[in-house]
Chain A
Amino acid sequence: MAILIDEKTMLVVQGITGRDGSFHAKQMIAYGTKVVAGVTPGKGGTSFEEKVPIFDSVRQAVEKTGANTSVLYVPAPFAADSVLEAAAAGISFVVCITEGVPVGDMVRVANHLRTLERPVRLLGPNCPGLLSPGKSKVGIMPGHIAQEGRIGVVSRSGTLTYEVVYALTQAGLGQSTCVGIGGDPVIGTRFIDCLEMFEKDPGTDAIAMVGEIGGTDEEEAARYVKEKMKKPVVGFIAGQSAPPGKRMGHAGAIVSGGTGTAAEKIAALEKAGIRVAKIPAEIPELVKAALAKR
């Protein structure tokens, strides 16, 4: 089992003819993801690598191929519109890889998605996507570092997620699904959403949660773990040495007005009974210890 994506995922790639879109479409196909369509306005009727049909719009792609999930590699100025297009076309899960999307755009998109009668889940923006090892990969994560198994991973970062996934794999702890939720201040799917899905997923035994400075989502997730979850969660928080008021690469990774510090988050996690790793390499041990205690 897995969350969000599996063998039934039928993927449409928005921006499939761009540099990043075409590179990662090939990688996803090679991994075994069912890439059923691509979208680039103006290039409808052609095909990608002579295998995947390209359409002018997501609506056409959904009608012709039955795609249920989309991934976006479109430039930041057009990303919000592409998410809305996918949502309107009947896609139920939209993954936005694009970095640098104006925050105001995402505020409108996130609030709009909540008003829809048919639920549409957004992952990202500014995220590496997700990977259900052995089943499907949507986004840009390197497939070879992961291994099928029963640990769920959820993280705000890209390469730090890879670091953690790789460490788990090397320790013999395979993963059910690895989700990169993105480093922006406003994102679609948040820690709590993933924790809830992992809690319900019969294929997940424990969860590694990788947070960072900025915002209060980790604190809210900690409360959720304490009140609602039975499965063990271990954590790591990046950015303990970040100076206040400085954006640490991710648009959302900023300590502002004294809130969002790593120390606060670590304290909140520990208060909720979550073991917090001091370094990423410590996560597998903590997961093993948590599983042994069950």
Chain B
Amino acid sequence: MKIHEYQAADIFKKYGIPTNPGKVAATSAEAESAARDFARTVVVKAQVHVGGRGKAGGVKLAKTAAEAKEVAEKILGMNIKGITVKKVLVAGGIEIKKEAYVGITLDRARQKPVIMVSAAGGVEIEEVAAKTPEKIVKAWVDPLLGLCDYQVRDLAGALFSDPAQKKETAAILKALWRVYTECDCSLAEINPLVVDGAGKVLALDSKIIFDDNALFRHPDLEALRDANEEEPSETAAREANLSYVPLDGEIGCLVNGAGLAMATLDVVKLYGGNPANFLDVGGSSDPKKVVNALKIITGSGKVKAILFNIFGGITRCDDIAQGILTALSQMKLDLPIVVRLTGTNEEKAREMLKGTKLIPAATMVEAVERVVEEAKKKS
């Protein structure tokens, strides 16, 4: 789960990381008033869950409160990578002497957390990694030992030579490690970490992504979720406990299992169709789940045909067929629906679908060919 910069900054502050204080504003008047309180140049930053805000014009300096109002008016409502900006962060401008990067994430290959620091701050770390990997210094943390002091000294020393700045950076790294582990983060990142005009080290931007699997033990962090950052269909899917990703095609896909769902989208594309979504409906034959899933994927109005791809496995296919039929009897849906059911009692299930509007298919390829054809007829 992603959170906003200002929320991440609050957490960093709680753990003792110096941040640049700011105020959140949802209107241009609030931004103006916040800027007036700072009584100096401010930076107005869009609060959205995507990177590259600066490049998109979502981060602007304002010399006066009036200018802050003007800038906030432009940024609020702006669309950045598909997300509408609803809030801005207004923070006092500071003099930047140096910019660095520090971040902690999981190294999947080594199965250990890795702390990365780079003296090339302010740009996306992926860009640094691609162009100048030698500028990134890494330390892998043994999760059974925790972050060691020698590692902290090495990392801080790779960024700064001034003894006071090294000491401050060391304290920040230790605090960031505590945030990463105690809050079950998949990413805790400060980019840039800056040295200000007075020579002090502080976090100028704050970014945290939480491990969704661990949110059950952090109700306080779950409360930071901003449903505005999701499409309504994503919120509905999350609440219905369905794993779902909206895409921009016209073929709605309901599949059991994430791997099979991904493969189904690939096959749809290979056969000339465009999937409207990824959706793992799970192994159950519960009609309620199917109703929810159908409502979510057809909600946008873009879907022209629907594909059920179910590998029954241990769940009986006749049960699943019954679940689909019951679900469809509970809602109005005037779209061609192709159903592929494989597994125990599949013949019986196909028999049940005969005489209904549903189009049965025996294999994944047959089902995909048919649904692509049906979608084309509709367009």
Contact = CB atoms under 8 A, between A and B. Distances in A.
Given A107-B143, A140-B314, A279-B270, A102 B214 contact: yes
A160 B257 contact: yes
Given A112-B144, A248-B262, A248-B278, A186 B181 contact: no
A279 B365 contact: yes
Interface in B199-241: 211-214, 216-217
A210 interface: yes
Nearest to A183: B258
A6 B113 CA distance: 36
Contacts of A112: 144
B258 A100 contact: no
Contacts of A77: 216-217
B344 interface: yes
B329 to A, nearest CB: 26
Contact of A217 (B109, B126, B130, B363): B109
A163 B364 contact: yes
A215 B108 contact: yes
A273 interface: no
B263 to A, nearest CB: 4
Interface string A151-167: 00001111111110010
Interface stretch (A43-51, A58-66, A234-242): A234-242
A101 B212 CA distance: 10
Nearest to B113: A107
B340 to A, nearest CB: 11
A243 interface: yes
A24 to B, nearest CB: 8
Contact of B211 (A103, A162, A246): A103
B78 interface: no
Q: Is the interface of B mostly helix, strand, loop or mixed?
A: mixed
B324 to A, nearest CB: 17
Contact of B258 (A27, A76, A249, A281): A249
B342 A186 contact: no
Given A102-B184, A111-B142, A142 B266 contact: no
B270 A185 contact: no
A67 interface: no
A107 B106 contact: yes
A91 B311 CA distance: 33
Contacts of B111: 107, 110-111, 186
B343 interface: yes
A110 B112 CA distance: 9
Contacts of A272: none
B365 A186 contact: no
A242 B265 CA distance: 8
B259 A257 contact: no
Contact of A239 (B125, B257, B266, B363): B266
Interface in B265-324: 265-270, 275, 278, 280, 283, 311-314
B75 interface: no
Interface string B135-160: 00000001110000000000000000
A145 B125 CA distance: 46
A144 B316 CA distance: 12
B186 interface: yes
Interface string B105-123: 0101101110000000000
Interface in A265-294: 278-281
B263 A280 contact: yes
A238 B266 contact: yes
A266 to B, nearest CB: 11
> Which of B181, B216, B263, B365 neighbours the largest number of chain A CB atoms within 10 Å of its CB?
B263
Given A157-B258, A160-B263, A279-B267, 7 more contacts: A157-B257, A162-B260, A163-B311, A249-B262, A250-B259, A251-B211, A279-B263
The 7 lowest CB-CB distance pairs between A and B, nearest first, are: A157-B259, A249-B258, A159-B257, A160-B259, A102-B214, A238-B262, A142-B313
7 contacts: A160-B262, A162-B260, A163-B260, A213-B262, A239-B266, A247-B212, A280-B263
